Structure 1
Amino acid sequence: MTTELSRAESDTLLRESGVGVLALTDSTEAYSIPESFGYDGETLYFQFVYTPESKKMAFLEPTETATFTVYDEQPAKSVIVSGTLEPVPEDEEPKAATAITENASIPTLNVYPDTKPDEFAVDYYRLTPNSITGRQFNAFTPAPNDQ
């Protein structure tokens, strides 16, 4: 059995979760990747670190609606954010950086171990939600036996 999370409960999970799964598509194939993020109560912000061969960046342009999922296991609950993913304008980058600093779980894993730092590009992106939905999964409790 599941129950719907209120917007306040969904916002709390988004603020408490510094990482989630971003899903993109090129209209033929789906591509989902773990991403750290910042959330300011309205918008999700990402700092993408990538190389020219990045599959993530190749999927960004054709993706009309991206989805981002966060979840917790105790109690089991999740939030899905759907919306438009776009570059953050340069004058709004400080806002993105602040949200990421306050919220993101920064990974210690280097996904490009053989790449020199000057071969990376770094850009801020934001996911402007069209919808934010959440649910909690409640444990099944059988009815007591009246025998």
Structure 2
Amino acid sequence: MSRHRPPSAADGSTETQQPDYESLELPTKPPSEYSWRERRKELLQLVKQAGHPDALNQTELAERYGVSQQQISKDLDRLAEYASDTLGQRRDLVSEAVFHRAMEGLMEQEEYRKAARTVADWNEWLDHRVEIAELRDRLDRVEDLLEEDGHV
């Protein structure tokens, strides 16, 4: 069986059904009235601002949204899956948050040359991640073929 496949959706496909939190608009209502999608959108923004999910106080966030701390923890887990689905690895939520925070800091300090280099480094890193994912997919296909032929 392949080891590197993305998690299956409820319908058995390998496509996930998570919304694109980046493209959602936050409403002008109290956070305690946010839907789970809106809450996760804002949580994603907060993670990016803080630079790491662990920098957030889950108890305070639970009070803000009128949900349990366990729900906030689950929301952060789903956001990590979202980052994994869009970038390739679970730890990428942290990487993306640090990148955005670094870019904000460089731009605020008018360090445009350093910001441009940081973007180039980020893009190189993303390209590398894509290459690894493609290699894993190829390896999975080879393993599947070997299994079908009874060689594994």
Whether the TM-score (by the shorter chain) exceeds 0.5 is no
Give 1 or 2 for the bigger CA radius of gyration.
2
TM-score, normalised to structure 2, is 0.23
Larger strand fraction of residues:
1
Structure with more contact order per residue of length (Cα contacts < 8 Å, sep ≥ 6): 1
Larger helix fraction of residues:
2
TM-score, normalised to structure 1, is 0.23
